[in-house]
């Protein structure tokens, strides 16, 4: 199968894998926060995720994998971005509930349209639409509600953990738009196998400098198994699956589907993380945030459908320069 082609059945499966992997990602991170420091946990998760992907690529995408290993420049920039993003995501989730982390990152949908506006001329009609502005306003009000557990203490919204999660939402938007265009020419599996490997190197280097990675040896068997499962599901499985689904279904549908993740994460957290819950303020903020992001996606999707419905001009009726000179 060409790197440019996709299979609808595989795309549906990829969407399911992505949802499952990222549903449990913040839950697993919270469960492991007492066993690993943020950079160290990120490093170990990425080692397992990268190993999983490289093993698959050695069987099914050997040529593309070795081509990227010889020349990693096409994915070097997004790997550096992903390294910073993963630290922010892990450290931010340490200071929040799993559901709050998942909800906050959904603000990235607002930023995706903004970056697309700056980079691609054809996307500029979306941001000029009044419904986009309404959706953005709702999203910003909603995320403020999510970040404030107690309305009487607004300083919580500016905590270090919340700031890192907002940074993650911003970088995820860049990552999403950037990755969407990389996978037009490179299959998502070898693409992210190399990205994950480079990210593991980056996180590992920072862990050696800023943390005590020797804690890896002190983690118990349960933590070691859980961090391996987390790496394989949320990194080895979910990331390339997201890129594949986005390539097949497009950004609007894929991002709409991922809006169920805060709900699925909340259900998982209620079972695996006793005591994690949303306050009434956070619940209202969650509904407002998801309503705003859904409105933005609907505006984007409406624009794409209208473009697809435009008639294609019949080039046979356009006289050529040669014919015009003959006249």
Q: 1 in a domain, yes or no?
A: no
* Integer Cα distance of 111 and 136 in angstroms: 9
Give yes or no for residue 198 having a pLDDT over 50. yes
Q: Taking residues 14-32, what's their average pLDDT?
A: 95
* Integer Cα distance of 225 and 231 in angstroms: 10
pLDDT in tens, 208-217: 999 998 889 9
| Residue pair 93/165 in contact by the 8 Å Cβ criterion | yes
Q: What is the pLDDT of residue 117?
A: 67
Give yes or no for residue 315 having a pLDDT over 70. no
Q: For the stretch 147-174, what's the b/e string if a residue is b when 16 or more beta carbons lie within 10 angstroms of its beta carbon?
A: bbbeeeeeeebeeebbebbbbbbbbbbb
Q: What is the pLDDT of residue 323?
A: 47
* Integer Cα distance of 103 and 286 in angstroms: 7
In the chain, helix, strand, coil percent, each to 5? Answer: 80, 0, 20
Give yes or no for residue 287 having a pLDDT over 80. yes
| Residue pair 171/84 in contact by the 8 Å Cβ criterion | yes
Q: 324 in a domain, yes or no?
A: no
Give yes or no for residue 326 having a pLDDT over 60. no
Domain count, the chain: 1
Q: Taking residues 88-101, what's their average pLDDT?
A: 93
pLDDT in tens, 24-37: 999 999 999 999 99
Ranked by mean pLDDT, the top range of 182-191, 275-284, 315-324 is: 182-191
Torsions phi, psi for 248 (to 5 deg): -85, -50
| Residue pair 164/78 in contact by the 8 Å Cβ criterion | no
pLDDT band at 162 (very low <50, low <70, confident <90, very high): confident
Closest CA to 189 of 67, 325, 73: 67
Please report which helix (H) or strand (E) contains residue 266, including its range: helix 261-272
Percent of the chain with pLDDT over 70: 82
Give yes or no for residue 314 having a pLDDT over 70. no
179 vs 194, higher pLDDT: 194
Q: 142 in a domain, yes or no?
A: yes
Percent of the chain with pLDDT over 90: 47
Q: 325 in a domain, yes or no?
A: no
Q: What is the pLDDT of residue 325?
A: 47
Q: 288 in a domain, yes or no?
A: yes
- Please state, as a whole number, how many other Cβ atoms lie within 10 Å of the Cβ of residue 136: 21
Q: What is the pLDDT of residue 187?
A: 93
Closest CA to 86 of 172, 176, 177: 172
Q: Read off the pTM.
A: 0.82
| Residue pair 262/106 in contact by the 8 Å Cβ criterion | yes
Give yes or no for residue 104 having a pLDDT over 50. yes
Closest CA to 196 of 33, 57, 2: 57
Q: 195 in a domain, yes or no?
A: yes
Q: What is the pLDDT of residue 1?
A: 45
Q: 318 in a domain, yes or no?
A: no
| Residue pair 268/27 in contact by the 8 Å Cβ criterion | yes
Q: 321 in a domain, yes or no?
A: no
| Residue pair 103/289 in contact by the 8 Å Cβ criterion | yes
* Integer Cα distance of 73 and 67 in angstroms: 11
Closest CA to 56 of 230, 232, 202, 224: 232
Q: What is the overall mean pLDDT for the chain?
A: 85
DSSP string, 127-158: HHSHHHHHHHHHHHHHHHHHH-SSTT-GGGGG
pLDDT in tens, 247-285: 888 776 787 778 788 888 988 998 999 888 777 888 888
| Token representation of residue 167 | 């940074």
* Integer Cα distance of 82 and 87 in angstroms: 9
pLDDT in tens, 109-131: 778 777 766 766 655 666 667 88
CA 294 to chain centre: 16
| Residue 183 vs residues 119, 187, 290: alpha-carbon distances, Å | 17, 6, 27
Q: For the stretch 184-200, what's the b/e string if a residue is b when 16 or more beta carbons lie within 10 angstroms of its beta carbon?
A: eebbbbbbbbbbbbbbb
pLDDT band at 85 (very low <50, low <70, confident <90, very high): very high
Domain carrying residue 49: 8-304
pLDDT in tens, 50-72: 999 999 999 999 999 999 999 99
């Amino acid at each position: 199968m060409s790197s440019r082609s996709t299979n609808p059945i595989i795309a549906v499966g990829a969407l399911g894998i992505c949802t499952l992997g990222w549903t449990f990602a913040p839950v697993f991170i919270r469960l492991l926060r007492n066993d690993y420091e943020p950079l160290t946990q990120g490093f170990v998760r990425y080692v397992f995720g990268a190993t999983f992907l490289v093993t698959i690529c050695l069987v099914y995408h050997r040529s593309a994998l070795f081509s990227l290993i010889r020349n990693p420049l096409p994915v070097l920039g997004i790997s550096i971005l992903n390294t910073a993003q993963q630290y922010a995501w892990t450290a931010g989730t340490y200071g929040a509930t799993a559901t709050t982390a998942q909800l906050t990152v959904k603000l990235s949908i607002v930023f995706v349209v903004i970056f697309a506006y700056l980079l691609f001329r054809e996307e500029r009609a979306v941001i000029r639409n009044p419904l986009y502005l309404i959706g953005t306003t709702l999203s910003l009000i909603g995320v403020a509600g999510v970040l404030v557990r107690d309305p009487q203490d607004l300083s919580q919204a500016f905590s270090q953990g919340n700031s890192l999660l907002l940074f993650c939402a911003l970088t995820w938007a860049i990552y999403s738009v950037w990755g969407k265009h990389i996978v037009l020419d490179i299959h998502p599996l070898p693409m992210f196998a190399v990205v994950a490997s480079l990210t593991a190197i980056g996180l590992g280097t920072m862990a050696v400098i800023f943390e005590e990675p020797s804690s890896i040896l002190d983690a118990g068997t349960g933590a070691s198994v859980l961090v391996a499962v987390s790496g394989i599901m949320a990194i080895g499985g979910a990331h390339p699956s997201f890129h594949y689904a986005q390539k097949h279904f497009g950004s609007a549908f894929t991002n709409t589907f991922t809006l169920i993740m805060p709900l699925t994460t909340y259900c998982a957290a209620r079972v695996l993380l006793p005591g994690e819950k949303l306050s009434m303020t956070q619940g209202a903020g969650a509904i407002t945030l998801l309503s705003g992001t859904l409105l933005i996606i609907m505006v984007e999707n409406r624009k794409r459908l209208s473009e697809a419905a435009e008639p294609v001009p019949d080039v046979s009726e356009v006289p050529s320069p040669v014919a015009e000179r003959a006249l």
